[in-house]
Structure 1
């Protein structure tokens, strides 16, 4: 690390090294391997044959994976499902359905 600091100081002696932020690392979800949450989410939505909300999808994923549905785990998986749904929506694979009750429901396009 000191070599990197020295290199920066060599090219920009006035640069304040304390302003460099550390690189953020993502922690992987321990319940799903890469891509599994998306595949399972799409499977659940396909098999349901009707629009589902985030909590319904989460409950199905917990059941399929055999994960105990504690409040903390459910919240964590639900957050993951929400991210998956929004990535799928951006790719025009799913769309939001307005059911008039204020709850977002999703269906496969």
Structure 2
């Protein structure tokens, strides 16, 4: 009986360690990809600093009383698609064309992720992609997309062929 408990405890510990290893390997890969971006980001940072200096000089030329502290910095709107996914709407439509049968938004999202070679994504990212696919289909619903009866995300969609 003692060996069985020991075996279960070791298997549980093994599973925890294997999960932690997978998590840490993912973090390492993410950090390494960030290091690859460093030269590009540094160059862009220097360019932005130079542009700000020039704009500041022009604004002071126009209005000598102008003070940079009066201007609040605004972050640009950046699309948060996972790495490897380009335009979600175009890819979703490609997935639907390839399928040739009506699909739910979840099915389209799953196929989109598989087609783009994106592995596991966190639930929030998956939901964002799902929402983007849903938004795309709703926008194009009267043009070349048809929605079949069903409730919200259970509704099936397909592309109307124009021959």
What TM bracket, shorter-length normalisation? 0.5 to 0.7
Aligned equivalent of 1:101, options 125, 145, 151: 151
1:66 shift after superposition: 5.3
* Aligned counterpart, 2:29: none
Unaligned runs of 5+ in 1: none
Rg comparison, structure with higher value: 2
Q: Equivalents in 2 of 1:16, 1:90: separation in Å?
A: 50
* Number of equivalent positions: 104
Answering whether residue 110 of structure 2 is matched by residue 59 of structure 1, we say: yes
Whole-angstrom distance in 2 between the partners of 1:71 and 1:6: 47
- Residues of 1 paired with 2:144 and 2:131: CA distance? 19
What SS does the aligned partner of 2:59 have? helix
Higher relative contact order (Cα pairs below 8 Å, separated by 6+ residues): 1
Q: With the length of structure 1 as denominator, give the TM-score of the two structures.
A: 0.60
Within 5 Å, give how 1:61-76 maps onto structure 2.
61-64=112-115, 65=117, 67-76=119-128
Which residues of structure 2 form unaligned runs of 5+? Answer: 1-51
Give the Cα–Cα distance (whole angstroms) in 2 for the partners of residues 41 and 90 of structure 1: 13
- Structure with the largest fraction of helix: 2
